[in-house]
């Protein structure tokens, strides 16, 4: 690592920790802090939920934080520049894609990605065409379709596997989004002939006819 950059990383003293948990703007030009679990760095005055102390790293500059692969907070803009909106939404989308089976709320996303719930939802919907919650539901229902067609799991098992604690809610949402119940969906598509098998049977029949002529 470049020595001039490395020297800018500071220690988390009690004074700096107090500045972080009390959002003390007086320290904004003295240090920045990053959160290991989110990969985001902020100003001490940032209004995001206080991180766990053991996950905090202290930096003397935005350059150091970025060098260490931390991303600037969308809310407090510690590097003086705003993250491109599309990139921010992509980060949120990637997070949902990896964690959709867990409980994801708008408030949790706003804490994770440092933006107000209102701004996050409005921006996400403008870019993706759906709200974050609707996107989570879509991911879960698509996963449910795969389970229904590719496994013999019961509806209770599938509901739990995709993040629903209530099977009845899962069935209701599935029907709302697909216009059919999970059971009907499974029966309908499992009863359909396999296109590839049909092609193979057709070729065999043609070969038999040609051989006999």
The CATH number that applies at residue 67 is 3.40.10.10
Using CB atoms within 10 A of its CB, is residue 3 exposed (0-12), middle (13-18) or buried (19+)?
exposed
For residue 7, what pLDDT is reported? Answer: 53
- Label residue 181 by pLDDT band (50, 70, 90): very high
Residues 116 and 140 occupy one common structural domain: no
CA separation (Å) from 35 to 39, 50, 71, 107, 190? Answer: 6, 10, 10, 18, 47
d(CA 138, CA 134): 6
Q: Is the pTM of this model over 0.85?
A: no
35-83 tens-digit pLDDT: 999 899 999 988 888 889 999 999 998 899 999 999 998 888 888 766 6
**CA–CA distance, 12 with 192 (Å, rounded to integer):** 63
42 assigned to active site: yes
Distance from C-alpha of 46 to C-alpha of 54, rounded to nearest angstrom: 18
Q: pLDDT, tens digit, for every residue of 79-124?
A: 876 667 888 899 899 999 999 999 999 998 988 887 788 889 999 9
Say if 195 falls within a structural domain: no
| Best CA proximity match to 167, nearest among 149, 180, 181 | 181
pLDDT at res. 81: 63
- On whether both 63 and 9 belong to a single domain, the answer is yes
The CATH number given to whatever domain includes residue 93 is: 1.10.10
Q: Is residue 206 part of a domain?
A: no
From the list 42, 46, 73, 76, the catalytic residue is 42
Summary mean pLDDT of the chain: 85
Q: Is 99 in the same domain as 151?
A: no
Residue 200 lies in a domain: no
Residue 201's pLDDT is what?
47
How many independent structural domains does the chain possess?
3
Neighbours of 13 (CB within 10 A): 11
Whether 207 maps to a domain, the answer reads no
Q: Quote the CA–CA distance of 79 and 110 in Å, as a whole number.
A: 19
- What pLDDT score does 1 carry? 47
At residue 102, the pLDDT reads 95
Beginning with the edge strand found earlier in the chain, give each strand of the sheet holding 71-72 in spatial order.
9-10, 56-59, 32-35, 40-42, 71-72
Q: Find the domain containing 9 and state its range.
A: 3-72
Q: Which helix (H) or strand (E) holds 200?
A: helix 195-212
3-state secondary structure of 160: helix
Segment (H or E) for 58: strand 56-59
Based on the domain organization, do 119 and 179 belong to the same domain?
Answer: no
Angstrom distance (rounded) from CA 101 to CA 170: 13
Q: What is the CATH number of the domain that holds 138?
A: 1.10.10.60
Domain co-membership, 128 together with 138: no
């Amino acid at each position: 690592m470049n020595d001039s950059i490395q020297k800018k990383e500071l220690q988390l003293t009690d004074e700096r920790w107090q500045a972080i948990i009390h959002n003390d703007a007086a320290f904004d030009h003295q240090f920045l802090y990053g959160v290991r679990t989110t990969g985001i760095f902020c100003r001490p005055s940032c209004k995001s939920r206080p991180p766990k102390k053991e996950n905090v790293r202290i930096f003397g500059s935005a350059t150091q934080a970025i060098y260490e692969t931390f991303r600037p907070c969308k809310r407090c803009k510690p590097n003086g520049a705003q993250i491109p909106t599309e990139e921010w939404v992509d980060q949120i989308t990637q997070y949902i894609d990896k964690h959709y089976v867990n409980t994801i709320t708008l408030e949790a996303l706003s804490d994770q990605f440092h933006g107000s719930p209102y701004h996050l939802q409005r921006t996400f919907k403008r870019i993706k065409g759906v709200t974050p919650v609707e996107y989570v539901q879509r991911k879960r229902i698509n996963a449910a379709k795969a389970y229904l067609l590719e496994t013999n799991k019961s509806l209770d098992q599938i509901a739990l596997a995709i993040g629903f604690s209530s099977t009845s809610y899962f069935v209701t949402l599935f029907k709302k989004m697909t216009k059919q119940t999970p059971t009907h969906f499974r029966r309908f598509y499992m009863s359909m002939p396999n296109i590839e098998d049909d092609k193979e049977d057709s070729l065999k029949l043609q070969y038999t006819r040609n051989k006999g002529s």
